[in-house]
Amino acid sequence: MSPLRWQEIERVFNETVERPQSERSAFLAAVCAGDPKLREEVEALLAQNSSEKNLLDQPVWELLEESADSHTINVTISPGTQLGPYKIEARLGAGGMGEVFRAYDTRLGRIVAIKVLPGAFSSDPSFAKRLLQEARAASALNHPNIITVHDISRDGGIDFLVMEYVPGNSLKELLTLGGLSLTDALNYIAQAADGLAAAHAAGIVHRDIKPGNIMITPQKQVKVLDFGIAKRNPALQECATEALTQLTSPGTVIGTLAYMSPEQTGGENIDGRSDIFSLCVVLYEAASGRLPFHGVSALSLVEAIATVQPAKASTINTRIPKS
């Protein structure tokens, strides 16, 4: 994206946010007449800006969950709750588009991880479809560095996904605890790259690669998690005979902003190269201890991703070889 184009986007964005919500659509229609791409890019920034305080580290689906109708009745899930044959043991955390729990499979006698669709989304068929999309995307892949999906089901109005339980820590947790050696960082990123290569070979783009979606077992094996916003790209498949239903459209920004490629921040159609860009951002952070792109707002961060050449990681972490 050229600097002049970015200045135009920024100008229209700033003029739009100064107007009442009820006037924005008409204003954009007038200002962007004849340039639908400009409108798409501005609307993508407006969507990000609506919850800017969380944007740097939170996927859009989690932001949607937070802004859901406060009157929605949520089913409380706690240790002892039974979902079909699965008995909930503990809450593990929140993943893309849902909460994740450790559970016991009473039929097969094994520990599993269960992702539960939030109650705020349970009445919306599009989110159930997205959960199904995650199941299909991950189950289409058989790779040691990709999470294995066992089942998808519904019980008592609760939609849930059953996956292998992966003990250990996310890469985000390891970075928070004190950083990594360069050897470990390279090892983990290489394994994640192997998993992504398998996904891309199957025509699947992850679209939310970040430290929180890379799990490390005690044996230092990597598992790539959260295919909840993955998208099948038929152009990546040489032998594919069918494609997953597209539940997203051009102009929609999905992912976690600080790790996005320039094309993804602009809501463009993307392929596996966008995942590689995101993985390189993760590698930079793991090796240097800081992100390559910075901004005081969502808008300035998007501009940095599009225009800034990051400092060499070796200038931040002197233990990194300069060659």
What amino acid positions are annotated as catalytic residues? Answer: 208
- Helix (H) or strand (E) run with residue 101 in it: strand 98-105
What does the alpha-carbon distance between residue 103 and residue 158 come to, in Å, rounded to a whole number?
15
Contacts for 106-115 with beta carbons within 8 Å, 24 or more apart?
Answer: 110/165, 111/165, 112/86, 112/150, 112/162, 112/163, 112/164, 112/165, 113/162, 113/163, 113/164, 113/165, 113/166, 114/83, 114/86, 114/88, 114/160, 114/161, 114/162, 114/163, 115/160, 115/161, 115/163
Q: What is the dihedral of CA 248, 292, 37, 22, to 10 degrees?
A: 80
What does the alpha-carbon distance between residue 171 and residue 225 come to, in Å, rounded to a whole number?
11
Nearest partner of 265 among 95, 65, 56, judged by Cα:
56
